[in-house]
Every structure is written in C-alpha cells, then in structure tokens.
Amino acid sequence: PEFPALDAVSIGFLSFSEEEVHAELSSLDINKGLGPDGIPPALLKLCSRSLMAPLTTIFNTSLASGVFPSVWRASYVTPIYKSGRRERIEHYRGVCTISSIPKVLEKLVVKQ
C-alpha cells in the first residue's frame, strides 16, 4: 500500500493551549544534553513564560498544516557499546538525541 508523505499529512484536529506548552517547557530536564539545534533545555525552561506564546503558535500551525521545521527532524545518533568484541558493529546500539523543542511537541501530542 502507498502511504502519503509525512509533509502531506495534517493532524490539525490537535491543538494546544499556552498553559499546556508552558507546563511541558517547565518540566524539561535541565541535565539533558543539547540536541542538533544547540539550545540547552535549561534555557527553554528558564524562558518558558516568554516562549509559550510563540511556541504554541508554531506547534498549532505545524500540526494544522502538516509541515514541520526540518531542524526538528534532525538528530544525533551515538553508538553505545553493549558487550562482546568492540570491533563488531552488532555489539553496539544507537542512541538518538533530538532537540528539546520537538521533544516538547512530542510530549504534548502523546498526552492528547
């Protein structure tokens, strides 16, 4: 079966309030590392009151249109050694690190 391209899919039935976005920003773990966007979670948490309105607009517009900033799709993949011979790739697993802003959006979507 053919599936529509991700950019063509609208999930506009979802929408978030500024309070919901603020709550997720406030709950960010400041000890987590940076994602590809280079924005520390501590900064987003500290500025959550100032960021809640513009991020709410961006999130709701993105969900309604089905278009997401390409930087939100970027991630760092770090190979983590499990066990066995270190020179064998199958003895590693990948850990994916994404930026904090798309993490906030993901948490909001999951809660809906």
Say if residue 87's pLDDT is above 90: yes
In this prediction, what percent of the chain has a pLDDT beyond 70? 88
Indicate the pTM of the whole model. Answer: 0.77
In contact, 77 and 95? CB cutoff 8 Å: yes
Please compute the mean of the pLDDT values over residues 67-91 and round it to a whole number: 92
- Burial class for 88, CB neighbours closer than 10 Å (0-12, 13-18, 19+): exposed
In this prediction, what percent of the chain has a pLDDT beyond 90? 72
Token representation of residue 82:
């499990």
Per residue in 31-74, pLDDT (tens digit) is 998 899 999 999 999 999 999 999 999 999 998 888 888 888 89
In contact, 1 and 63? CB cutoff 8 Å: no
